[in-house]
Amino acid sequence: MTDSSAADVRDQGPLLLLSQSFAAWLAASNVCLALTTYQAGRLFFIGRKDDGGIRAHERIIEQC
């Protein structure tokens, strides 16, 4: 990875890596998740889209 492509990845925010069965688990459990990085001040909401895919939303807040 070049320095410019590494910078592009950083500018996009955190990278979310999920198992292949994660969307199916969310559907079967009928849940969504909220989690925090605590010290970095990031709050994430992870759920399913109508088409069965994954949707993640991030908020940056002072204190989680």
Domain ranges of the chain: 18-64
Q: How far apart are CA 60 and CA 51, in angstroms?
A: 27
Which pLDDT tens digit goes with each residue over 8-62? 545 666 788 899 999 999 999 999 999 998 788 889 999 999 999 999 999 988 8
pLDDT at 5 over 80: no
pTM of model > 0.85: no
pLDDT of residue 1: 47
Tokens of 15: 């990278």
pLDDT of residue 4: 55
